[in-house]
Amino acid sequence: MEQAASNKNTYLALAVIVLSVLVWLSITSSPKSHVLPNDPHVVSTTVSETRKPADPPKQTGDVPVDSPSNVMIGKAGFARKINAIFTTRKKAVVYQALVKYEPVDVPSDEVPGIKEILQYYGRQGRELPRTLKRVDQEMEMSSENLGVPLRFVASTKLYVNPDGGKVVAYDMAQTTGGQPQRMVGHLNKTGMAIEVYRGGTLDDKQEITFVRDTFIPVEYSFIHQWYETPENREALKKREQVKFSIFVPESMAQVLLLVKPMDDQVIAVGDATYDCAHYEVITVSTQSASGLSAKQEMWFDKQTRVLMRRQDFDASMADAEAPVTDLEPYSRIEQLGRLSLLPVSAPATPNHGIDYLLDQDLDYTVKARGEPIGEVRVQFSKFEIGGKVPPFMPSKLSVKPTYFSTSRVRVDTGGSLRNEIAVTLYDAKWKVIHYETHGEENTGVKLNYDIEAKIENETIRVHTHRDALLELKASAAYQGAIASAEVGSQFTGGDDDRAWRDPLKRVPVSDDDAKSQESDTGPRMLDHSWSRPFPDEIYISDFNRVEHLALVAAQISIPPLPEKETDPVKLAYQKIALYLVRQNRCGVLLIETRPEPKPILTERQKKRRTNDELKEPPLYVANVTAAMMPCRMLLSGDGRVLELSMQYGSGDVTYTLDDPIMRHRDEAAKKRQLQEGPRLVRPPWW
């Protein structure tokens, strides 16, 4: 399960910093559902030129030029005409850019998954043209990520049906300098079929079922165009909210865009001003009911209908700090030279301890897609000479531990069996000073694995090792795996770019290659060591580490309960810097906490409540929507993690604590099901 979770979590972690990703979660009132006129998937495949500044520069996007030497994108400008360039800034720091090229014609047989796409059109009695349009775009982002310089580069190819402008397939590659991730998707009868590659190796397959009228946007001018059509002018006048369902390839997620017109504004972009239509865009994930919300605002030039500016708001930051994305007038490629590192520092936390969890057996049942697959037992103890000691200890420690946690994991997914034991040592302030886990997995081949992380002097040093058992060490498969083992986790800056793996140069893959990779069951060996800066306010986590997230949960702010059922729900926010050990990924998570939603009862239902129901303690829901680690925690008032749901791709893994509160909830749910009885599902013609 760790390998599958690692693969899925890796491309999720990368997707968070892609320019066009719109994965904020929210609950709002249900708006009127609309579709675009004629064809709901009509999306322009070109970007009109913006109104030119009064004093145009001598060099424009029509002139093939090379991009500045400090960036990796825009190099195709020698042979391709650049259509548009967007830059993103936070305050005065320009840290992200998107280069979009003019569409080119491609034969249909070059489109990924063309056989299923033809079947999709055939079922609808339509034909796909022999020549399609391909829209290429490249994105680069740089940051000083919690002490480590980080560069992220992505390349996306969208294959568009010129008859209606519908995206039928895409090919996207992205990397932070390590082994590139590549996602290739195409339409099928239910939605989107996706293959995920790590380098040239088929890593995962996904099938996403689309809700009605879902499409992949080439750009977001369709928002303004919808309100500009004559039949929708009344909706614009009344400022009615409109709903669009889109699919975001970067995160493999369906998203509802809830769009509402705002007052028109005149904005300055570059050295010109533009009279713009102004919209508020709330996003809702169709794959989550967590209730987290955020918003964007978009400005479209009234003359050209082009998106001129977008601003992404965050509930935890002031509006003045919200990132702003602008269209660069004239698509001047030299503007890419403005990119610099965006400083990202670890936020302050309350530094609460978890002494209240000492000397308890915390038993969690692990479920995947609702089915039990294993157990996790966690224990927190005080480190005392002559008292309790961990199952294993490092030979040298610069700081004497005050507390330690032990976690025993057994997971059986049917295709793999995993047993592991993990020990984490903490100082007197509950700061992690050492983490170590040893385990064995059996996926047809038995392998041992070890992970060790040592933290001292604001530096973390990690060593991971996977090794076959003794009886396999002499095998040819083992020797071959050792010979071909390839290290590549993350670009850490510096002047030497020779180790960079460029996603703009794709590794060839084919159906035959994919099938051969699927049948390859040889053991994979990894033996990596790395270190990185580790400021004091960073927390750690790893796969199946409920104990690590219990410490994170202790830092979460708990909002007050509403005094009346009709009172608005109060929310609390907390930012946490988290480091994922095995993935070597670090970032800042925004955690939103709210009282657990309760159904509004009638007076009759209130009178029928039992004493146990009246005595139920208040619970709280903490949501994390960052693509690095999307999860949901159900917390008790004292901060215990009663349930943890980790989202991996289109699935999830849930850890449920064996606790009187959770047992009562389970019994109450079964009782309600019996009271409601079987539901009669009638056909629509009944």
> pLDDT band at residue 106, thresholds of 50, 70 and 90?
very high
Question: Under 8 Å CB-to-CB from 656, ≥6 apart: which residues?
Answer: 364, 365, 367, 642, 643, 662
Report d(CA 225, CA 242) in Å as an integer: 12
For residue 418, pLDDT over 60 is answered with yes
> pLDDT band at residue 109, thresholds of 50, 70 and 90?
very high
595 in Cβ contact with 618 (< 8 Å): yes
271 in Cβ contact with 55 (< 8 Å): yes
> pLDDT band at residue 26, thresholds of 50, 70 and 90?
very low
- Cα-based distances in Å from 414 to 7, 207, 418, 466, 543: 19, 21, 11, 21, 18
167 in Cβ contact with 160 (< 8 Å): yes
Mean pLDDT of the chain: 80
Cα–Cα nearest to 112, from 44, 181, 158? 158
Residues β-bridged to residue 367: 372, 654
> pLDDT band at residue 579, thresholds of 50, 70 and 90?
very high
Residue 20's pLDDT is what?
A: 36
For the question of whether the overall pTM of this predicted structure is more than 0.85, the answer is no
For residue 341, pLDDT over 90 is answered with yes
Residue 10's pLDDT is what?
A: 39
Q: What percent of the chain has pLDDT over 70?
A: 77
Report d(CA 590, CA 626) in Å as an integer: 7
Report d(CA 397, CA 394) in Å as an integer: 7
Question: Concatenated DSSP letters for 52-79?
Answer: PPSS--SS-TTS--PPPTT-SS-GGGGT
> pLDDT band at residue 138, thresholds of 50, 70 and 90?
very high
Which tens digit of pLDDT belongs to each residue from 65-85? 567 878 889 886 567 889 999
Which tens digit of pLDDT belongs to each residue from 443-468? 777 889 999 999 999 999 999 998 75
Pairing mode of beta strands 104-107, 131-145: antiparallel
Which tens digit of pLDDT belongs to each residue from 371-385? 999 999 999 999 987
Residues β-bridged to residue 183: 172, 196
Residue 234 phi, psi dihedral angles, 5° rounding: -65, -40
End-to-end CA distance of the chain: 45
Written as six digits, the tokens of 81 are: 């005409």
Residue 332: CB atoms within 10 A of its CB come to 18
- Cα-based distances in Å from 636 to 133, 159, 363, 641: 54, 49, 16, 7
Question: Mean per-residue pLDDT for 91-103?
Answer: 94
3-state SS, 533-593, equals: ECCCCEEEECCCCHHHHHHHHCCCCCCCCCCCCCCCCCCEEEEEEEEECCCCEEEEEEEEE
Report d(CA 96, CA 77) in Å as an integer: 18
* DSSP-assigned letter for residue 470: G
Residue 140's pLDDT is what?
A: 95
Which tens digit of pLDDT belongs to each residue from 201-235? 787 888 999 989 999 999 999 999 999 999 999 99
Residues β-bridged to residue 657: 364
Compute the radius of gyration of the chain from its Cα atoms. 27
Residue 648's pLDDT is what?
A: 72
The mean-pLDDT minimum among 107-111, 136-140, 524-528, 628-632 falls in: 524-528
The mean-pLDDT minimum among 10-14, 27-31, 561-565 falls in: 27-31
663 in Cβ contact with 650 (< 8 Å): no
* DSSP-assigned letter for residue 351: -
Tabulate helix, strand, coil % of the chain (nearest 5).
15, 40, 45
Report d(CA 312, CA 319) in Å as an integer: 9
Per the model's pLDDT, the better-predicted residue between 308 and 443 turns out to be 308
For residue 603, pLDDT over 90 is answered with no
* DSSP-assigned letter for residue 232: G
Asked whether the CA dihedral 595, 316, 654, 548 is positive or negative, the reply is negative
Question: Mean per-residue pLDDT for 362-367?
Answer: 96
Residue 423's pLDDT is what?
A: 98
The strand ranges marked E within 108-224 are 131-145, 148-161, 166-175, 181-187, 191-198, 201-209, 214-215
Q: Which of 26-35, 64-73, 125-134 has the highest mean pLDDT?
A: 125-134
- Cα-based distances in Å from 615 to 68, 601, 642, 655, 661: 66, 16, 17, 25, 11
What amino acid occupies position 43? V
